[in-house]
């Protein structure tokens, strides 16, 4: 693979980052994951806007311009012959020298890393046909989940706990309500209405979520943005989640209770089709 590191395109074995990098030592880095379908980038502007916001919230400097980011994405797609897959982008606060909780001096360049991951047939994930099963887990993350940081230890633990329970993913619960999934935004469907938690610092502002809600509104579907409980999810007609890499993923079981008889429901199925169709049209 050819990867990008601080202005250079390198074979992956040659891309080396300092052991003093704050991304490594402090988890002081933000990231984005963007899907590529048939060589085209999905949701490019949305991911760049969120990256800029994450960096601004953490007073990180050294962001690149839209044109520079686009050129790097295009170069990586071309140099790796990427058809279907993902582009991972990470910006850390850079090499701080000796370990120090304080931020390094102004002007310290960030460490910018991008690489591709090939996922042939990404849009035809068989799990989208059968749906996935989730378990709930307390949300023990910090309270700035709107910032997309690389502090992913707890989400990793949640995915391991789900796997240990024989399920696919975990939904976080705080104060009795579902916040979001371990790496996705969560939804239930009741009486044709799509219910999903409203945006706040409690959840990541999903790029897929924003587009899907726009497409659903355009298709005259009813949307209610409010928190829901696990019990409400278990009594719902359907459930699903969204993320840049999974698009719209149907959920057919919540904490051992099957939804829609354990089969993918019509609303989740339709929303996945709409998202992929509109997403491909808007891809660049
Ligand atoms: N919430 C969390 C915690 C996530 O990690 C992700 C995936 N990055 C999402 C939601 C979905 O966001 P997006 O649609 O932008 O991928």
**Residue 97's pLDDT is what?**
87
Geometric angle at alpha carbon 136, from 198 and 129, rounded to 5°: 85
Residue 53 near residue 91, CB atoms below 8 Å: no
Q: Are residues 145 and 103 in the same domain?
A: no
Q: Are residues 49 and 168 in the same domain?
A: no
Q: Indicate if ipTM > 0.85.
A: yes
Burial class (CB in 10 A: 0-12, 13-18, 19+), 63: middle
Q: Are residues 37 and 115 in the same domain?
A: yes
Q: Return d(Cα 197, Cα 184) in angstroms, integer.
A: 12
Q: Are residues 9 and 100 in the same domain?
A: yes
Domain encompassing residue 224: 127-282
Catalytic residue list contains 148: yes
CA of 98 from ligand 1 middle (Å) equals: 33
Q: Are residues 240 and 106 in the same domain?
A: no
**Residue 96's pLDDT is what?**
77
Q: Are residues 115 and 156 in the same domain?
A: no
Write down the catalytic residue from 133, 148, 159, 167: 148
CATH no. for residue 266? 3.20.10.10
Protein residue whose Cα sits closest to atom 2 of ligand 1: 183
CA of 79 from ligand 1 middle (Å) equals: 27
User: Is 0.95 surpassed by the pTM of this model?
Assistant: yes
Quick check: CB of 179 below 6 Å from ligand 1?
no
CATH no. for residue 65? 3.30.470.10
Q: Are residues 108 and 197 in the same domain?
A: no
Q: Are residues 195 and 152 in the same domain?
A: yes
Q: Are residues 176 and 236 in the same domain?
A: yes
pLDDT, one tens digit for every residue, the chain (284 residues): 999 999 999 999 999 999 999 999 999 999 999 999 999 999 999 999 999 999 999 999 999 999 999 999 999 999 999 999 999 999 999 997 889 999 999 899 999 999 999 999 999 999 999 999 999 999 999 999 999 999 999 999 999 999 999 999 999 999 999 999 999 999 999 999 999 999 999 999 999 999 999 999 999 999 999 999 999 999 999 999 999 999 999 999 999 999 999 999 999 999 999 999 999 999 99
Last residue of a domain, one of 120, 135, 160: 120
CA of 8 from ligand 1 middle (Å) equals: 28
Last residue of a domain, one of 83, 99, 120: 120
Atom of ligand 1 nearest to the CA of 152: 5
Q: Are residues 116 and 133 in the same domain?
A: no
Query: Tokens 């897959």, residue?
Result: 85
Domain count, the chain: 2
Q: Are residues 70 and 182 in the same domain?
A: no
Last residue of a domain, one of 120, 137, 157: 120
**Residue 159's pLDDT is what?**
98
CA of 164 from ligand 1 middle (Å) equals: 22
**Residue 101's pLDDT is what?**
95
Geometric angle at alpha carbon 216, from 235 and 175, rounded to 5°: 40
**Residue 169's pLDDT is what?**
98
Q: Are residues 135 and 115 in the same domain?
A: no
Quick check: CB of 185 below 6 Å from ligand 1?
yes
């Amino acid at each position: 693979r050819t990867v990008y590191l601080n202005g250079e395109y390198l074979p992956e074995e040659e891309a080396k980052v300092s052991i003093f990098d704050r991304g490594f030592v402090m988890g002081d880095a933000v990231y984005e994951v963007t899907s590529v379908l048939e060589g085209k980038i999905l949701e490019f502007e949305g991911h760049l806007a969120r990256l800029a916001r994450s960096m601004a919230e953490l007073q990180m400097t050294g962001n690149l311009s839209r044109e520079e980011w686009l050129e790097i994405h295009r170069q990586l797609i071309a140099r790796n012959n990427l058809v279907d897959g993902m582009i991972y982008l990470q910006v850390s606060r850079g090499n701080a020298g000796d370990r120090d909780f304080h931020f390094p001096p102004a002007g310290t360049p960030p460490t910018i890393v991008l690489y591709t991951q090939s996922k042939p047939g990404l849009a035809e994930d068989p799990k989208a046909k059968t749906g996935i099963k989730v378990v709930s887990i307390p949300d023990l993350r910090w309270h700035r989940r709107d910032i997309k940081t690389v502090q992913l230890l707890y989400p990793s633990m949640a995915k391991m706990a789900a796997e240990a329970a024989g399920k696919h993913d975990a939904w976080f619960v705080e104060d009795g309500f579902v916040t979001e999934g371990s790496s996705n935004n969560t939804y239930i469907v009741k009486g044709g209405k799509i219910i999903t938690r409203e945006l706040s610092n409690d959840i990541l502002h999903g790029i897929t979520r924003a587009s899907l809600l726009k497409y659903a509104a355009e298709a005259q579907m009813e949307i209610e943005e409010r928190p829901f409980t696990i019990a409400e999810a278990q009594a719902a007609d359907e459930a699903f989640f969204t993320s840049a890499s999974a698009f719209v993923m149907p959920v057919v079981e919540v904490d051992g209770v099957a939804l829609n008889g354990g089969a993918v429901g019509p609303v989740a199925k339709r929303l996945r089709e709409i998202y992929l169709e509109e997403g491909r049209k808007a891809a660049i």
